Structure 1
């Protein structure tokens, strides 16, 4: 998130972060807020009780108009330091003090602080008020020491222009309403960024856990009541699971889940009042794809894992953000695997988290999981989903595999008992897990935690010696610093060491080992460790001889590692193309995920509107034809999880390939449902709409879909419309669509990145989208610059651009922004990403296109 102070001082050198908690340690807040939705004005009074450790203290505030400050009942002089977001005071004496601040501020329109969310019912525009205080936006709502370590208790009182039928929600239960003021129970000791409240015209559904915790799911009345049922069930069962797994009770009376129409992140773990994007909490139980159900379930489980890991025990400072996010990312899969075992949710982890982490972590300059934070802008730059979330989760999966669940649970129980309602560091976690397991966990994990990147383990046979070596793997140019890792090798050969810490390991008598085992050598069984394997030709041929006989994770791993090695130019995509047909008829969804990931990566080697592109489309048809015939477009009764998850891949491939039969079938389904497009079967709806827009598009259809998008509250359906409209081949329609990018009533700022990415990745729209973002960068910065995902607009661009000309334009536009705190790392990395792609295409394009032609 890039807050206003940073945006206004883009060219200035920014000083290091000042830690206010060292001088003033709050213990309790009394917060009174009077909010006028009409004028967007807020009048506030905050009383802070705490310990002054220094004569000169500072309290965070941002954009607050301070009217009065009192210390221990006496009016006090104060200074405002805008460069540090500080209210500075001088104390007459040290020790316990009470600071009272009266102030005014405004509702924001940045989805940070206290802000309105907008929605429509029957054409009437409405709003609800909600909050988002992570990372450091509580200071926009009330004066506070806005640091994770500054835990305190909170009494909240809210007054607003209340209308009949409105609900008011907060971290704790409401205990009374007096003179229009809503008072809430005192919170437990917690960090400022976890304070939350909301009010407006909401509907709710309730349940209760076995231990008596009240569970509620809330959304606007734009949603059908049954759209809350799935989230309620997952939330209730997740709380029950975590109480058992952690052997630690949920510490609050309730757990509210609230869907906000405007929300920057995916969801936020505010203690007792978790907030979500609507798409990640509400869903149509009668028409939502299994993939979307899995996503919603894991998001809910992720946030509820935080209620212990992050809320009950919180990182001491933002450099240990991974301590919150990596753990919750792993636990969401642990929980949902227990709640819905037939989903085999760990396969989703393999299909999404693992490749995301491996791709991002192979770029030189990437951050490590544990990162020092010295600049305010760097706090929000920490939220790198592929590293702090996905890589960190893979790191913890490695630990779980090494120590086992019994030691994990025992260690966590002790960790929570020792640090509850307080703060901790990564070292505290490793200490607890090490004590429970009897292993030096920190020694093993430190190389993964503190170092960026990961190794490629090369396996080769020379003179009957099996030689394993490790070296950092790069996609593109990389500065090899001789890094080494403690690698859990997880081989199917007993003679292979459990942990590889050396640069090279030599094992004699490979042929005897091979004959003894009776199967090919494989490393990283289960793909649970964060590295890839490069087998020499002999070892690889041995594996590929009966490749479809392996389990789905092994097949995915083979395709995944080969793809990454090709991206790193250590093998050629030309050698992978002939292998693809081996996997084309797989009934494993996981294998199809990997197969079409490789196929999608082949698109960069073909130029639009050429024979080579037609050949690639023919390959897509060849790969998907049998599966489309087998599965069809309509889901069958009692269909397997694999078939449900595979169908969207294969029908999408058929539509991309312009398969005449598939195009006709999709058009027929569209025509039969044209009066109620949302009722199209959810798992194929995107493919049907894309087909209609690409092959039967018109301005009438464009307007119809755009209006459907405006009116619908179904996040999944809205996403499908976005995918369809951005795939148009009509420049006039794409121009008209881009004109809507800055119309928040049509495309909400929270959704803009997806629309921009869709047009940019469309060959007919690339120039239009690229021109728009360069011309409108200041508008974009002003609109979503306070969002932690702002930098990902740059990431999206880097995923698409692939020519020397575009690389030069990217550098020309973004290199002047290298001085901007928070953007520096992303620009450097993404420049490298585009450079490596341009080089890869130049070196492999001819061979890849030849290979595609030969397999047809």
Structure 2
């Protein structure tokens, strides 16, 4: 990063003493901060980070009047009150409805660079310090922060006071905040050394539910609480249960005790990201944290468990050991994704088969993005503040997790985790870079991990391994894979060290997997009897695609579907996803994908494979959405595959049925409805209408199981009448069950009438909460009928939307949803021309990726329309 965007290295803060006065009645806050400094280089100036704050008094106390010395301190007051705004950044306000009235509470969101919006600070991750936080608030509210409360007492303002809090009395008097009101002062314990982006505090009418866990390392019992406004707190029990289960597992894996005295979770109605790993005070939006006890659907349970386990993983990855700078963000997010969403989650929910699900939900998503020329390396330079925000993408999370998962399976999970523990212990309360991690795992395994991993992290893209069979074996070759084909020579220079996970079959039919075989050159010949079964990337652990000769692909697919196959169902998932990507790139006919799916589906029993089939066919239908004859034929094919599943599984969910059964049923019903199955559509519409008439305790509500709420709402929006549409609009305002509200949002965007689509879009701009935009926009993205309308409407209102989300994470998703579904060259030209007149610095990467997606789909359609049409007509 250029020096002008980084603070000079002459000063390091060591201790912040932060006092915050919050008045929710007037939506204002005030504060002072005193910062102790280490002066690393003597000088005559200091520089720090601050934004949107007008400072009154800045007092530097130093042993010298002309030079800065270690032991200096820096004290800053605010000039006037600051409004608690609605930006979801810094110290901001959120709201809830209490007895029909809107009321407010306040909380922080500092990652990545918004601590400077709340108080002057050295706002870089490497500049760790300890924090003593004091909060002053009205007595009938609750104060929360990273640490436990050290003391709390009534505060009585005294006119003319001269003590350390005299400024509080003065402010209460000057600003007309009546001194006779009851106030309190809450002091929190001092934190360990931490980065500013992890500082957190909140004030509001919070209630809580609580639990605890016992440390397996020390035997200490530590409290766990879930906080929220009174209308939401009761829905936090499942989130609390997940935290209680995963914390001791992390301690045992890393052999490092969770160091803080408590761990709280706070749900907020207004929150930009999904959730945030504030040390000791996780915060997040309702969708990420709440499970209505009366609406326990499996998808919501999975999302909450995944998210909470991810955030708890950050207590070690990011909070104890922190990346030195944002170019190493993946050391936080990639590890939290792998540890939280796969390794630890599989221990508490083995029935979910999360490692296999990771192939579709993470690995494939990462490869699809990384197959674009507009991709970027996992570790990439961060030249300015706008780039920092854009680093929070699929590559920093999902590709990084995929690369680490590949390494874990290459060296063995036990050794991998031992190396990770070594890495964490070497950098407790400190910062780290990539080489620190590789060195620790090398120390444990005795392998040159830097040689194996360097290009996976520091180079853009990934390879496709092309297999050519000969009489005596196979020739394998690696080239950079792009969604438009094999990269040209100028973009095809990287040679990755590729763990091949090479599977062969023993004499008795058992799989033998060589995990140590690496392709670290352009080509390699492997001696092999090609009359027998073999496969690269067994288990789909590798971060690459594999292209076999057509006959071999067919043979592997047929054999993988057999009852005692040496190939796993994870292999079948990988085969389908690779085939789709290769077809899009023009390396195999698209009809091969359909043939592969047809062969596998005939005897498939695994829910995750069915989910992969459904998603692949949805991708094809979504790409050809403007060719109605192909859409109709693909829908017919989808109906033939999934209709029988609906017939056999029905619409009722047993209370204790296997998670996989629940997932298959929900997926089959959803796909059949999307494909236009009239029986399924009528059934869901009937159940939706019946459920609207329910009253507390009635049986009507049973007609719509929680897992069917979303598909039923979409059917009601797509095929229902005006009365159904109005019912959906009313449901979007449901506050007691946020999950129903999100489903209804998708329903209102599933409409086929453009006038209704315009009505929904107008509602979003004028009435929807900012945190709900992403759900509405995703619904429009999924609706083929309104894609063109939605893209145009977004551009017509771009200035309004961009202003609403200035500086927020959400703007990148909104851009992608608005344009990423289109596929015509003229769409590309129109969108590209529009943004030439706009400031795109905060989302230029995702805009380029969306434009690349449009062109890639355009080329795919042009190349493969005849092929896919012929196959569908012949089937």
* The one of 476, 493, 496 aligned to 1:485: 496
Alpha-carbon distance in 2 for matches of 1:124, 1:823: 37
Residue matched to 2:524: 505
- Residue 354, structure 1, aligned to residue 363, structure 2: yes
Q: CA deviation at 1:465?
A: 3.6
CA contact (8 A) 2:374 2:852 kept: no
* The one of 461, 464, 477 aligned to 1:469: 477
Q: How does 1:12-91 map to 2 (within 5 A)?
A: 17-20=4-7, 22-52=9-39, 53=41, 54-72=43-61
CA contact (8 A) 1:207 1:216 kept: yes
Q: Deviations over 1:431-480 (max 9, x none)?
A: 11111111111111111010111100011113444111100000127552
- Residue 161, structure 1, aligned to residue 181, structure 2: no
Q: How does 1:789-828 map to 2 (within 5 A)?
A: 789-817=810-838, 820-828=840-848
Q: CA deviation at 1:629?
A: 0.8
* The one of 520, 537, 546 aligned to 1:533: 546
State the TM-score, normalized to the length of structure 2.
Answer: 0.90
Q: CA deviation at 1:807?
A: 1.5
Q: CA deviation at 1:73?
A: 7.9
Indicate how the Cα distance of structure 1 residues 224 and 793 shifts in structure 2: closer, same or farther if over 3 A, else same: closer
Q: CA deviation at 1:693?
A: 2.3
Residue matched to 1:783: 804
CA contact (8 A) 2:713 2:728 kept: no
Alpha-carbon distance in 2 for matches of 1:652, 1:313: 43
Alpha-carbon distance in 1 for matches of 2:747, 2:850: 27
Alpha-carbon distance in 1 for matches of 2:66, 2:6: 18
- Residue 120, structure 1, aligned to residue 92, structure 2: no
* The one of 758, 761, 777 aligned to 1:735: 758
More divergent stretch after superposition (307-316 vs 492-501): 492-501
Secondary structure of the corresponding residue to residue 224 of structure 2:
strand
Residue matched to 2:555: 542
Indicate how the Cα distance of structure 1 residues 816 and 303 shifts in structure 2: closer, same or farther if over 3 A, else same: same
Residue matched to 1:98: 73
Alpha-carbon distance in 2 for matches of 1:404, 1:213: 33
CA contact (8 A) 2:31 2:77 kept: yes
Alpha-carbon distance in 1 for matches of 2:246, 2:438: 25
Q: CA deviation at 1:381?
A: 1.1
Alpha-carbon distance in 2 for matches of 1:854, 1:285: 49
Indicate how the Cα distance of structure 1 residues 224 and 65 shifts in structure 2: closer, same or farther if over 3 A, else same: closer
Q: CA deviation at 1:402?
A: 2.1
CA contact (8 A) 2:147 2:280 kept: yes
* The one of 715, 724, 731 aligned to 2:738: 715
Residue matched to 1:109: 86
Alpha-carbon distance in 2 for matches of 1:60, 1:823: 23
Alpha-carbon distance in 2 for matches of 1:751, 1:607: 26
Give the aligned CA root-mean-square deviation in angstroms.
Answer: 2.2
Alpha-carbon distance in 1 for matches of 2:627, 2:408: 49
Residue matched to 2:174: none
Residue matched to 2:725: 702
Residue matched to 1:460: 468
Alpha-carbon distance in 1 for matches of 2:520, 2:52: 52
Residue matched to 1:79: none
State the TM-score, normalized to the length of structure 1.
Answer: 0.91
CA contact (8 A) 2:36 2:73 kept: yes
Residue matched to 2:608: 590
CA contact (8 A) 2:373 2:482 kept: yes
* The one of 825, 828, 836 aligned to 2:856: 836
Alpha-carbon distance in 1 for matches of 2:708, 2:840: 42
Indicate how the Cα distance of structure 1 residues 37 and 538 shifts in structure 2: closer, same or farther if over 3 A, else same: same
* The one of 424, 432, 448 aligned to 1:416: 424
Secondary structure of the corresponding residue to residue 781 of structure 1:
helix
CA contact (8 A) 1:760 1:767 kept: no
Indicate how the Cα distance of structure 1 residues 218 and 21 shifts in structure 2: closer, same or farther if over 3 A, else same: farther
* The one of 211, 214, 233 aligned to 1:210: 214
Note the residue ranges of structure 2 that are not aligned, 5 or more in a row.
Answer: 156-183, 216-220, 505-511, 695-699
CA contact (8 A) 1:587 1:642 kept: no
Secondary structure of the corresponding residue to residue 466 of structure 1:
strand
Higher relative contact order (CA 8 A, sep 6+): 1
Q: CA deviation at 1:637?
A: 4.4
Q: CA deviation at 1:286?
A: 4.0
Residue matched to 1:570: 587
Q: CA deviation at 1:608?
A: 5.0
Residue matched to 2:644: 626
Residue matched to 1:449: 457
* The one of 340, 348, 353 aligned to 1:344: 353
Q: Deviations over 1:777-829 (max 9, x none)?
A: 11111111211231222222342111122122111112444x74343333333
CA contact (8 A) 1:16 1:375 kept: no
CA contact (8 A) 2:211 2:240 kept: yes
Q: Deviations over 1:734-781 (max 9, x none)?
A: 1111111223xx422122123123224423322332222111111111
Alpha-carbon distance in 2 for matches of 1:523, 1:122: 62
- Residue 524, structure 1, aligned to residue 537, structure 2: yes
Q: Deviations over 1:552-571 (max 9, x none)?
A: 21111110110110121111
Alpha-carbon distance in 2 for matches of 1:613, 1:666: 22
Residue matched to 1:87: none
Q: CA deviation at 1:16?
A: 5.4
Residue matched to 1:561: 578
Alpha-carbon distance in 1 for matches of 2:373, 2:468: 26
- Residue 187, structure 1, aligned to residue 164, structure 2: no
Indicate how the Cα distance of structure 1 residues 834 and 662 shifts in structure 2: closer, same or farther if over 3 A, else same: same
Secondary structure of the corresponding residue to residue 56 of structure 1:
coil
Q: CA deviation at 1:367?
A: 1.0
Residue matched to 2:173: none
CA contact (8 A) 2:227 2:233 kept: no
Alpha-carbon distance in 1 for matches of 2:558, 2:717: 43
Aligned residues: 814
Alpha-carbon distance in 2 for matches of 1:701, 1:123: 25
CA contact (8 A) 2:554 2:596 kept: no
Indicate how the Cα distance of structure 1 residues 337 and 522 shifts in structure 2: closer, same or farther if over 3 A, else same: same
Q: CA deviation at 1:17?
A: 4.4
Indicate how the Cα distance of structure 1 residues 224 and 239 shifts in structure 2: closer, same or farther if over 3 A, else same: closer
Alpha-carbon distance in 1 for matches of 2:66, 2:718: 69
Secondary structure of the corresponding residue to residue 526 of structure 1:
coil
Q: CA deviation at 1:51?
A: 1.5
- Residue 228, structure 1, aligned to residue 249, structure 2: no
